A and B are shown apart, each in its own frame.
Chain A
Amino acid sequence: MAALLLGMWLSFYWQSVQYSSSLEEVDSALLSDDLPPEALMDNDFFEWLKDNSPEE
């Protein structure tokens, strides 16, 4: 039983390392980018901004 619990905790620990590392990577890039997070807060707005189709 102790081995099972240890195995589970190690698995959770590994998931925590992976999860934290992926957040660090994206947050660090996002917070230092010249496009600020405000530009990405509203999904509709971002889609509008991203749309490169010419004026009708």
Chain B
Amino acid sequence: MAKRQFAGGVILCLALAAPLHAETPTTVVIGTPPQPTWSQLDVQQRNILAPLAGNWDGMENIRRKKWLGIAERYPNLTPTEQGRVQVRMRDWAALTPAQRARVRNSYKEFKQLPAEQKAAVRQKWEAYSNLPPEEKQRIRSSGKSAKLLNPPSSETNPPSPATETTVAPDAGAEAGKR
């Protein structure tokens, strides 16, 4: 009898381990206790998570739990990093679980790149994001992204201050301040 119950439990566990939706395994959803509503958060949590105030009470418990964990880590970030989190929080929460999962996978891949390649990606993004939309399309379809690090003007002329700004090593830090 006990063996049958145990086998039943194992089968149930395996069935529940299948994802409920794109991202969260059902076992995780079941195992997450109820999380506080917006009015139950303390003042510091509400200040940090202010961009999420409008949809907090509609969030699943696992997502509230994750954001509370992010709020706990928040004081350890630099002021610049805190500013980036505040600016990006709402857009991030508005993505679908599949989109968030895709970005997380790319980010993990990015973090594993050698330091020089990471710096190059940041510089290229900075240069790319400053281009007008039609130029973005043109540069993507016309060749390699290395072009972003060597704008045509710098090949024939001495670098102008504007060009230097585009490819400056700390340009990535500037991107975050926007």
Contacts and interface: CB of A to CB of B under 8 A. Distances in A.
Interface of A: 1, 4, 7-9, 11-16, 19-21, 23-24, 26-41, 43, 45-46, 48-56
Binding site secondary structure of chain A: helix
B33 A8 contact: no
Given A39-B125, A41-B99, A16 B84 contact: no
Closest 7 CB pairs between A and B? A12-B31, A24-B69, A32-B81, A16-B31, A40-B106, A34-B172, A34-B176
A9 B113 CA distance: 39
Binding site secondary structure of chain B: helix
A26 to B, nearest CB: 5
23 contacts: A1-B5, A8-B9, A15-B28, A20-B28, A20-B62, A20-B66, A28-B85, A31-B88, A33-B84, A34-B175, A35-B122, A36-B88, A36-B176, A37-B88, A40-B107, A46-B109, A48-B144, A49-B145, A50-B145, A52-B146, A54-B146, A55-B150, A56-B144
Interface in B149-174: 150, 172-173
Given A14-B31, A43-B102, A43-B106, A34 B173 contact: yes
Given A4-B6, A28-B70, A32-B85, 7 more contacts: A8-B13, A11-B27, A13-B31, A19-B62, A31-B88, A49-B121, A50-B113
Contacts, number: 154
B32 interface: yes
B65 A30 contact: no
B85 A55 contact: no
B73 A24 contact: yes
A36 B132 CA distance: 18
